[in-house]
A and B are shown apart, each in its own frame.
Chain A
Amino acid sequence: MTQLTQTAPAPYYTRIAPTTGWIALNLKEVWAYRELLYFLAWRDVKVRYRQTVLGAAWAVLVPFLTMVVFNVLFGVLMGANGKPTIEGVPYTLSTFAAMVPWMMFAFVVTQSSNSLVANRNMITKVYFPRLIAPLAPVLSALVDFLSAFAVLGAMIVAYHFTADFKFVPSWRLLLLPAFVLLASLTALGISMWLSALNALYRDVKYALPFLVQILMFASPVVYPAAKVLRANIPQWAKVLYGLNPMVSVLEGFRWALFGTNDVSLPIVGLSSLMVLVMLLGGMFYFRRTERLFADLA
């Protein structure tokens, strides 16, 4: 049997006492547990497509087929030239470019909101900063995102050489990660609230798929935002629409890739600000209800 080696003596100190009301986020502790965050995300990735025939291809197939469905649908309803697209960009490309970040967003919202219930058995047996649970899907979603994004890249190249579409790379591409970040933070901001609520009220489980679906139509995924912003609707409705952070994310993607500009910088700034408020509020709410999770989850 091996000798137990003494770990470096460090002045570890833990104080356990009841908490009330609002408590600090304690992000330092989350940082100290970053390896667990990584391992949980890694587990999700490794397990996700086990026992499937197509495996990771699903990460690409789902957004691709969704795009195809809308392509056919709008083609039938509005004729080949009436599809809601942006000038100079084929509908297939403009939709797929938004579908890729959208699928990531939808995945994170779904998984994170369910994370406390899904990790119930860990939460009732082991301590870790509970914030880790809804954070992990953000990382694991990136893997699917990258594979789908690679396919998007390949499609752009293919269109560039075969169709009446020219791709012009520019500095704007460098801002893509910023929009990925904004999408992740938006998803997290929603999930912080929903995961905590889900631990307390199982209604969330039933409302969630519906919510994601509604959000998809309230975001410019299968149509450009311009169709709404230039539609004949009251001004307040347009403002409300612009407040949806996913409008900025998706049009941001199109802007970075194709140079369209449906959404202006002030709108992006405003929705980023809104995301931060929602995220911070959500995290505090999460921390506030955290003490009940082990007893109720």
Chain B
Amino acid sequence: MKPAIRIKNIAKRYRLGEEHHSTIGDALAAMFNRRKGKVSKQPEEIWALKDVSFDVAPGEVVGIIGRNGAGKSTLLKILSRITEPTQGEIELHGRVSSLLEVGTGFHPELSGRDNVYLNGSVLGMKKAEIDRKFDEIVDFSGVEKFLDTPVKHYSSGMQVRLAFAVAAHLEPEILIVDEVLAVGDAEFQRKCLGRMSEVADSGRTILFVSHNMAAVENLCTRGVLLQGGQVAFSGTTSECIGQYASCFKEKLLDGTIKGKLITRAEFLDGDCRVGSISMGQGVVLTLAFRTPKVTQRPRVGVVFRRRLTGEAVFSIDSDMLGASWASRPADRFQARFVFEELNLIHGEYLVDLYVGCDGENFERLKQALELHVLVSDVFGTGRLPDSHFGPMFVTPILSLDAA
């Protein structure tokens, strides 16, 4: 059967620095320098995608996963014809809709009704088509009471619901969707996922990018794992997710650590070793270590650091916790830190481990473990926290009243 999407050797290069002159003055200066034979330094190149090829058969639902910077967004932008590939070719057979965000083209001053038309036409719907589906869209969004109110007065949840409702009524043969399901409250998310699987069941071809592994697992028939701009793995969804998780723990394939004293360390979710958790999810850190002398109360601790900045987010050890002593004096120990919830914002974390005793440090292993925290809608409002906000998130109970 002819594939619905054929991606052949796609590559995308971004040039940093020298390439673009954002004022004419810069451009002229560069031209002048070149004329004078001064070779300006080579612009730094980044290949966001390199030699990416895969086919998608009609009716297939393919999940594209990979960590930040793996090239997922670039691939979607190329597939959506927003930016051009540097090399390669893509063929799409069928009417294509792509959804890189919900509510593109929304204007805050316009009413909900106007925005449905505007957004619909931006997404490629004909006016007649929007007319026909208008009632359904409004029904799906649940904002009928505010249809004639400017959307700037909507809550963010309402805006998202209305925007998604429009998007949900697209009827393409090929649908390309970015992380748009990570918005809205839990109930609305279920509704969206339901709608997505309905679309999937109706034989549409879907390309779906998400960090929400549960959604990928539920929806997709096949997965493609991108790593460093290349296809690292392509296969069944569960295999792919397995590969994805394992790429976070290349360092310790079996939990073994190359420390003199600390011999084993791993993150567990239940009984499974994990390299990534969702925001707000709990995790268990287990350690096996020795001490150079027999003791009943060794000190064992961890420091969590953000990979990006190296800044310590928190550190904790057995002395601070006043943890009870081991059942008997020994020189081999097992420690188990149960973090019922880890209020870390999404991102990558490196964990230092150390052991000691009586104010003496025996061993300190820097960056012994890594943990990837995946974004999720922890507030249940569809407002995803930004990792620039700080290393942690908190969910206080807020009461607000006019004074």
Residues of A with Cβ closer than 8 Å to B?
1-2, 4-7, 10-19, 35-36, 39, 43, 46-47, 50-51, 121-128, 200-203, 291, 294-296
B55, CB-defined interface residue at 8 Å? no
Q: From B80-88, B319-327, B375-383, give the one contacting chain A.
A: B80-88
Are the CB atoms of B114 and A46 closer together than 8 Å? yes
Task: Give bound CA distance, A5 to B111, whole Å.
Answer: 28
Are the CB atoms of A15 and B24 closer together than 8 Å? no
Are the CB atoms of B195 and A1 closer together than 8 Å? yes
Task: Give bound CA distance, A109 to B376, whole Å.
Answer: 45
Chain A residue contacts of B110, Cβ below 8 A: 43, 46-47
A57: min CB distance to chain B, Å: 18
Are the CB atoms of B84 and A19 closer together than 8 Å? yes
A247: min CB distance to chain B, Å: 28
Are the CB atoms of A16 and B85 closer together than 8 Å? yes
Chain B residue contacts of A122, Cβ below 8 A: 104-105, 122
A146: min CB distance to chain B, Å: 21
Other than A12-B173, A291-B84, give 11 A-B pairs with Cβ distance below 8 A: A2-B136, A16-B92, A18-B88, A36-B121, A39-B121, A39-B122, A122-B105, A126-B100, A127-B80, A294-B82, A295-B14
A10-B202 contact in complex given A15-B90, A43-B118, A47-B107, C-beta closer than 8 Å: no
B127, CB-defined interface residue at 8 Å? yes
Are the CB atoms of A201 and B80 closer together than 8 Å? no
Q: From B15-23, B285-293, B337-345, B352-360, give the one contacting chain A.
A: B15-23
Which of A2, A35, A121 gathers most chain B CB within 10 Å? A35
Chain B residue contacts of A200, Cβ below 8 A: 20, 22
Chain A residue contacts of B83, Cβ below 8 A: 291, 294-295
Task: Give bound CA distance, A35 to B119, whole Å.
Answer: 12
A12-B114 contact in complex given A1-B194, A47-B107, C-beta closer than 8 Å: no
A15-B91 contact in complex given A127-B80, A127-B81, C-beta closer than 8 Å: yes
B260, CB-defined interface residue at 8 Å? no
Task: Give bound CA distance, A105 to B23, whole Å.
Answer: 26
Chain B residue contacts of A19, Cβ below 8 A: 84
A285: min CB distance to chain B, Å: 15
B247, CB-defined interface residue at 8 Å? no
Of the candidates A1, A123, A203, the one whose C-beta lies within 8 Å of that of B24 is: A203
Are the CB atoms of A126 and B93 closer together than 8 Å? no
Task: Give bound CA distance, A6 to B84, whole Å.
Answer: 30
B25, CB-defined interface residue at 8 Å? yes
B89, CB-defined interface residue at 8 Å? yes
B149: min CB distance to chain A, Å: 13
A6: min CB distance to chain B, Å: 8
Task: Give bound CA distance, A50 to B114, whole Å.
Answer: 14
Are the CB atoms of A17 and B118 closer together than 8 Å? no
Chain B residue contacts of A12, Cβ below 8 A: 92-96, 173
Task: Give bound CA distance, A1 to B89, whole Å.
Answer: 38
Task: Give bound CA distance, A50 to B173, whole Å.
Answer: 39
A50-B109 contact in complex given A14-B91, A16-B89, C-beta closer than 8 Å: yes
Chain A residue contacts of B84, Cβ below 8 A: 16, 18-19, 291
Of the candidates B22, B96, B123, the one whose C-beta lies within 8 Å of that of A202 is: B22
Task: Give bound CA distance, A4 to B172, whole Å.
Answer: 10
A267: min CB distance to chain B, Å: 32
B386, CB-defined interface residue at 8 Å? no
Are the CB atoms of A124 and B117 closer together than 8 Å? no
B330, CB-defined interface residue at 8 Å? no
Chain B residue contacts of A14, Cβ below 8 A: 81, 90-92, 96
Task: Give bound CA distance, A14 to B80, whole Å.
Answer: 10
Map CB proximity to A onto B350-378 as digits: 1 under 8 Å, 0 otherwise: 00000000000000000000000000000
B307, CB-defined interface residue at 8 Å? no
Are the CB atoms of B122 and A126 closer together than 8 Å? yes
Are the CB atoms of B85 and A17 closer together than 8 Å? yes
Identify the 3 closest CB pairs spanning chains A and B, nearest first.
A127-B81, A16-B90, A14-B92
Task: Give bound CA distance, A35 to B88, whole Å.
Answer: 32
Map CB proximity to A onto B158-197 as digits: 1 under 8 Å, 0 otherwise: 0000000000000101000000000000000000001100
Chain A residue contacts of B20, Cβ below 8 A: 200, 296
